[in-house]
Structure 1
Amino acid sequence: MEHTQHTDRERLLQRRLASRFAAFDQDGDGTISREDFSTAAKRLLTEFGVTFRSDRGQALCDGAEAFWQGMAGIADVDGDQKVSHEEFLGGAVKRLHDHPERFAEIARPFLHAALAIAATPAEVERALLALGVSPVAAALSARTLPTADSGAVDEEAAVGAFARYFMTEDRDA
């Protein structure tokens, strides 16, 4: 019985990690690359009608590039400018699981810029949907984010939630 539970947990964990990898792999080519981060930024700009050349558009694209550089720095072991599923599991997940603050640090510029475009929980839900997150997960994620008095999502809470989602091995996360 215990072996079966361990095997079930391991399978669930592997599915969760595969879905986290897929969330980064925006073009579905089986790797995470700079283009995936650019694609994510373009999808958000399009969804919210923000132009690339605007301050918010530039901040989002710069944040996406910084996020890619951080991800590549920890996970692109072979230096091919792509993060394979194996590199993601062996590099990003292992290293960042031990130091989730590092993940928050590399994600922060992108998330800061994204929250300047999608500030409210309803807008965050739209953003998540634009990035390919399932409707149920997008709604639940957006609904659980704390907001400031203005109704805007609290950035620190969003960064922490993002890091926990992508780097946790908790089967219930």
Structure 2
Amino acid sequence: MKQVLQHRIDSTFAHYDVDGNGVIELADIYALANRLLRAFGEPASSERGSELVDAYDRFWEMLVDHCDADRDGKIGPEEYRAAMMEAFVDHGPFDADFLEIVQSLLDLADTNGDGRVDADEFGVLLKARGLSEEECGMAFAHLDTDGDGAISVQEYVAAVRDYYTNPAEDTPGSWLYPTSLQLT
């Protein structure tokens, strides 16, 4: 059980460490934001683009506040792992900040402005994370827990919490990063 959850935490650390230098830094967070902006064809200078960059700034501040134990402006794997265990397993302080960041992310994904993130829109988000077309479809089917054809903030946040706390392999959270299920 613990091995699966630790593997998931380590997988997301690797996702956030965009340049692969062994630590998460502000430049990594901006690289992720830029990857999403490119995937959605949204310039950083647009209102939606600016909101996403602001959300990622807040995400960085949240990570530093909760993860950067030695306050060096870099988050190492051990710092990240300890903070994720506290935040999600022990229900720590991420909830309020995290909801706002997820809302900004899903607002960007809602490219047609209908207030919903459908399968195609969510697929763009997941492809920007490196998932295949097939994985995107499977992930959407599992994350749309109410079957309404859209991913809500509540469904997404519940899946994130599930990803970090439930080691089972066929839960909504296990589909956020389907390829990360394979233990190496």
Same fold (TM over 0.5): yes
Query: Cα offset for 1:95?
Result: 3.8
* Shift in alpha-carbon separation, 1:41–1:89, aligned structure 2, 3 A: same
Query: Cα offset for 1:107?
Result: 2.4
* Shift in alpha-carbon separation, 1:156–1:125, aligned structure 2, 3 A: same
1:84 to 65, 71, 76: 76
Q: Mind listing any 5+ residue stretches in structure 2 that lack a counterpart?
A: 110-116, 175-184
TM superposition score normalised by structure 1: 0.79
Residue of structure 2 equivalent to 1:62? 54
Deviations 1:86-110 (A, max 9, x none): 101122323432116x334232233
2:19 to 27, 36, 40: 27
Residue of structure 1 equivalent to 2:38? 46
2:108 to 105, 110, 117: 117
Deviations 1:102-132 (A, max 9, x none): 3342322332122122122222122122123
* Whole-angstrom distance in 1 between the partners of 2:146 and 2:152: 6
* Shift in alpha-carbon separation, 1:35–1:163, aligned structure 2, 3 A: farther
* Whole-angstrom distance in 1 between the partners of 2:68 and 2:82: 10
Query: Cα offset for 1:78?
Result: 0.5
Residue of structure 1 equivalent to 2:165? 168
Residue of structure 2 equivalent to 1:130? 128
Deviations 1:30-76 (A, max 9, x none): 11222222111111111111111111001100111111111111110
Cα contact 1:77–1:87 (8 A) shared by 2: yes
In structure 1, give the amino acid aligned to 2:105.
A
TM superposition score normalised by structure 2: 0.75
Query: Cα offset for 1:29?
Result: 1.8
Aligned residues: 163
Q: Mind listing any 5+ residue stretches in structure 1 that lack a counterpart?
A: 1-8
Query: Cα offset for 1:150?
Result: 8.4
Secondary structure, counterpart of 1:32 in structure 2: coil
Cα RMSD (Å) of the superposition? 2.6
Structure with greater helix percent: 1
Cα contact 2:5–2:165 (8 A) shared by 1: no
Query: Cα offset for 1:158?
Result: 1.3
* Whole-angstrom distance in 2 between the partners of 1:117 and 1:148: 22
* Whole-angstrom distance in 1 between the partners of 2:96 and 2:136: 23
* Shift in alpha-carbon separation, 1:92–1:148, aligned structure 2, 3 A: closer
In structure 2, give the amino acid aligned to 1:144.
H
Identity between Structure 1 and Structure 2 (%): 30
* Whole-angstrom distance in 1 between the partners of 2:55 and 2:68: 19
